[in-house]
Amino acid sequence: MLKKNVPLPLYYQIEEYLKQKIEEEEFEIGKMIPSERELSERFEVSRMTVRQAVTNLVNAGVLYREKGKGTYVAEKKLEQPLKGLTSFTEDMKQRGMSSSSQLLAFDVIAAPRDIREKLDLEEEEKVYCIQRIRIAEDKPMAIETTFMPHELLPNLTEDIVHGSIYQYVEHDLGMAISQARQIIEARAADEEEAEHLNISPHSPVLHIERKSFLAPSVPFEVVKSTYRADRYKFITDIDR
C-alpha cells in the first residue's frame, strides 16, 4: 500500500514498489508487468501517477515498452568500473560471460587526419580500420572502430581480430599496453548503429573514444566505440 501522508511522491513510491518486485524476481526479466489500469486500481491512484512512475523506470532502462503490447522488465545493465585498462574480452570473462565479435570491416587505409595526429603518424603512414560488433552472450553490446598503425602490427589478420586484440598484442607480440585516455559522451544512435545494435534509431548510446599507449608512451590504438546505454553503466570511485 502507498503511504499518502509521507512527503514521498506517490509515483516515487510506485517506482520503489516496482523495483522491489523486480529485485525479488516476482517480476521477471523479459516478462510483462501489470498494466497501468491494474496498478492504478491496486494503489488507488490515477493512471497519470502510475504512468509517471513507469515512464521514469523506462527512461532509467529498468523497464521497456512494446507498442500495443505492454511494459516489460529489462535486463540489468552491466556495471563497468572506470578503473583498470581492460579489454572487452577480459571484461566479459570477468563476469563469467562469453564474448565474440562480428567483423564488419578489416581494411588498411591512409590514416584520416584526426587519427594520424592522435597516433603521431607521418602523412603517408597507413592504419588498420577495423570495425567489430562486440557481442556478449549472443547479444550485441557495442560497435567498435579501431585504428592502429599498420607498421606496428604488420601481421594482424581477420582471424586475430575475431578474438582479442589486447591478447594478441600482449601475449603473442610481447608488447606492454601501459595506459589510455578515455572520453565518454552521450549520443543518439544513428540508423546504422541502431541496426547493428538491435535498438531503435535515436535510442541513447554512450560514445567512448579510447587512445591507448604501449610502454613507455607509444600510441598504438584509437578506438571509437558505441555502447548500448540500456545495457551499460559506468562506475567510478572517487576520493577526496
Q: Which residue has the cell 571509437?
A: 224
171 contacts 164 by C-beta, under 8 angstroms: no
**Residue 221 or 230 with smaller CB distance to ligand GLP:** 221
For the bound state, the minimum distance from the C-beta of residue 72 to ligand GLP, rounded and expressed in Å, comes to 28
For the bound state, the minimum distance from the C-beta of residue 172 to ligand GLP, rounded and expressed in Å, comes to 12
**Residue 88 or 128 with smaller CB distance to ligand GLP:** 88
Give residues with Cβ within 8 angstroms of 34, minimum separation 6.
42
27 contacts 73 by C-beta, under 8 angstroms: yes
- Taking the C-alpha atoms of residue 191 and residue 209, their distance in angstroms, rounded to an integer, is 20
**Residue 39 or 208 with smaller CB distance to ligand GLP:** 208
For the bound state, the minimum distance from the C-beta of residue 186 to ligand GLP, rounded and expressed in Å, comes to 16
**Residue 13 or 99 with smaller CB distance to ligand GLP:** 99
- Taking the C-alpha atoms of residue 88 and residue 166, their distance in angstroms, rounded to an integer, is 9
Q: Which residue has the cell 606496428?
A: 152
Which residue minimizes CB distance to ligand GLP?
87
140 contacts 228 by C-beta, under 8 angstroms: yes
**Residue 52 or 89 with smaller CB distance to ligand GLP:** 89
For the bound state, the minimum distance from the C-beta of residue 166 to ligand GLP, rounded and expressed in Å, comes to 3
Give residues with Cβ within 8 angstroms of 53, minimum separation 6.
11, 12, 14, 15, 18
For the bound state, the minimum distance from the C-beta of residue 169 to ligand GLP, rounded and expressed in Å, comes to 8
**Residue 11 or 106 with smaller CB distance to ligand GLP:** 106
Look at phi and psi of residue 154 and say left if phi exceeds 0, alpha if psi is from -120 to 50, else beta.
alpha
Tell me which residues touch ligand GLP (CB under 6 A). Answer: 87-89, 144, 146, 164-167, 208, 210, 221, 223, 225
Q: Look up residue 112 and give its three cell numbers.
A: 584520416
For the bound state, the minimum distance from the C-beta of residue 134 to ligand GLP, rounded and expressed in Å, comes to 6
